[in-house]
Structure 1
Amino acid sequence: MKKIIHLITLIVCLFIIGACTREDSVRESQINTNPPQLSELDIWLRENFVKPYNIEIQYAWNENEVNLNRYLYPPTEENVKPLLEVVLAVWVKPYTQLGGEDFIKNISPRQFTLVGGFNYNPSGTITLGLAEAGTKITLFNVDQLDLTDLTLTRRYFQTIQHEYAHILNQTKPYDPAYGEVNPENYTAQWFNRSVAEARELGYITDYASSSDSEDFAEMVATMLTTSKAEFDAIVEGISSEEAKAHIRQKEQMVASYFSTEFGIDLYELQEVVYQNTLEVIN
């Protein structure tokens, strides 16, 4: 009986070996391993963001990069390069000029995600940009950007300056005393205030009155999207002397932060950004 079992086992093994030899040769992989074809835009992005600064620009649709609970869509491709040329002019070049060649290389988001339309919040407000963990900035409303409109362009790029201020704060925290200047009117319902009302309370914008971290970022962003003369006019236009004093105190704290932590003169940076902005407006 054992001999019969051994014989059957031997026959089965021989059959399997024979079947294996008759198998077709390994087929060519169906996975496309060829590198993707780069468009003219992709090549420009690689040369101006990826290679020099290790910043990826995500403009094609990727559902993993956005909130699927919002009505969002990718930007029109022709709007991508004009936007990013201004990003270079008003953000990358000024910080590089005053902070050194490695400033943006060392402190920057590693990815910009671009979205074509508005990002509406349930409260009725619009989010123009988001910074995530210091590694990513998402910019919305790319398709509506009008680079011939100075006011609109400044408002849009105020978002970048704001979000980058958060990234700087994550690298070097600001003095907690900043939040003690006038904390009594911070509120999650900031959107119920007008900009003028917020300024009379000692906050440079309505959003600045939401928390001390947003207050700090809004001070940076407002200073870097106005000239010094324009910023001074905003502050001097406030009726409340106490509110003026609060804003001036916070202005000095922000300027001190840039000087102490990064060796950058904020007022010089303000002037460079202002001049570069005027140059890129069509």
Structure 2
Amino acid sequence: MTGRVAGKTVLISGGGRGMGAAHARRLVSEGARVVIGDVLVDEAEALVAELGPDVAMAVRLDVTDYENWRRVVDEATARFGHPDVLVNNAGIFTRGDAEIADIEEWRRTIDIDLTGVFLGTKAVITGMKRKGAGSIINISSIAGLVGFKNRAAYAAAKWGVVGLTKTSALDFGEFGIRVNAVHPGSVRTPLTAGLERGFGQIPLGRDAAADEVSQLILFLASDESSFCTGGSFAVDGGETAGNNLRADA
């Protein structure tokens, strides 16, 4: 096998569509075997049909269910070997500030966007420690770097992902396991298709294609990033660099 991640097994949560699917395609193109976990089983299976069953498998994964995570890791290990890389990609976003946000939506957002990352890490970490290596890539958001108006639950979860990432980097570095956070900005995915948004706040003046995020995922999954852990990597066209809408004068 050839490629930048040749021979590596990668487990991707929320991998059936959007950024997760783009990551799967990019990683397979560079020699990885991917396990696509999603509650959208039909979409995950369609992606496997596209990539090929020799390099991809689809599994139902509810990231809020630890026993489901354990089963998925066992299935992945039986088929391709214990995951070398985990991409905690599954997520949702909900609206509302601390006054008007629905309490059940708050809990669901935290369960999926933050607790799901914790459970995924918990499910793979013992096997990675045995192997003496691993890369865990947690998908946060620019909402985990700056405040995000009217997104109380989403921003809280994404900031929580950063704390978990940095703490896990400290906890597991001695075992050769790297843990990093990726912070996408505006990206064209099915999740964002219905949003009305401008791009004046982005210095590059546009949103990103999903594969532009996948290029960073590939780097962090590969041995090229062997000295990168505890990092927060923004893929945002410069949106968090400062106030791009401020007048020149």
Return the TM-score normalized by structure 2.
0.28
Answer 1 or 2: which has greater helix percent: 1
Larger radius of gyration: 1
Return the TM-score normalized by structure 1.
0.26
- Higher RCO (CA < 8 A, seq sep 6+): 2
Answer 1 or 2: which has greater strand percent: 2
